[in-house]
Structure 1
């Protein structure tokens, strides 16, 4: 296990820290989370969802975690419309606007997701395969966000 996986980085821990040692007890969890992160950000087949678009969506979702170190792990792209998407803006492009609404809902109130929300993405021009890939990306970011938050609470309450 390396000290610099995304979750350890967001927590600000290194190999000498108690939280690092706690996470090291589950090396498959640590390496699995990193493998999933790589797979959703840089898949072999990107399905015409560019790395910049993926990072914009990830950044937008990660912002809801209110953790600057975690958010820094998903840098916003430089391209103006994708940068605006990443930073919480409402894009003028209908497809990106639908994606922004979907990202916000999944990051904040995922239980509200319904078939109608997926239909909105289809209507905006995303294919079923792209929607699945975007769902995997959002699931990974939200998973990491919740793990970082939970471990932060644990560390703060136990000095781990």
Structure 2
């Protein structure tokens, strides 16, 4: 069965690269379980699925990944999000907290992860995020950027 990374990379079951991924099913299954746990967890820690999907779409746009943009846009649309979340997803800088800090942090980690410091975590705390929310946000950012890079790598292998 195809997973989100296969779809983002454009892999089909008929391709050798698709079958090669299945030589390590724990990685395929693990990535899919991770995707579900960061986007739509049983306990969202106060970070609703539509917010998570809006941030995921924002990261896909920052990474210029058209396939993931389409995927996250489709998922987000199912929630019929408020205009503020749609603007966030499209890359707008929100004026209100905590969305403004969430957007800045997501952008920083996506575009310049080596520039992040402990102070950036303190800014999340000052914006009202709890430690579990900061961990959940970090997991989301890590996963979407991981997914983007794996899909890009698979696309390169596929085109070789």
TM-score, with structure 1 as normaliser = 0.92
Deviations 1:45-81 (A, max 9, x none): 1111111111111111121222211222212453100
Alpha-carbon distance, 1:136 to partner? 0.5
Residue matched to 2:68: 70
CA contact (8 A) 2:101 2:124 kept: yes
Runs of at least 4 residues of structure 1 off by over 3 A?
Answer: none
Give the superposed CA RMSD: 1.2
Distance across 2 between alignment mates of 1:93 and 1:22: 46
The counterpart of 1:8, out of the listed 6, 9, 20, is: 6
Q: What are the ranges of 5 or more consecutive residues in structure 2 without an aligned counterpart?
A: none
Q: 2:59 is paired with a residue of what secondary structure?
A: helix
Residue matched to 1:31: 29
Distance across 2 between alignment mates of 1:21 and 1:66: 27
Distance across 1 between alignment mates of 2:63 and 2:150: 10
CA contact (8 A) 1:65 1:149 kept: no
Instruction: Please give the residue correspondences for 1:66-145 in structure 2 after superposition, counting only pairs within 5 Å.
Output: 66-75=64-73, 76-77=76-77, 78-145=81-148
How many residue pairs were aligned?
155
Q: What are the ranges of 5 or more consecutive residues in structure 1 without an aligned counterpart?
A: none
Alpha-carbon distance, 1:107 to partner? 0.8
Deviations 1:92-151 (A, max 9, x none): 112101111101111111111110111111111111110110000111101101101111
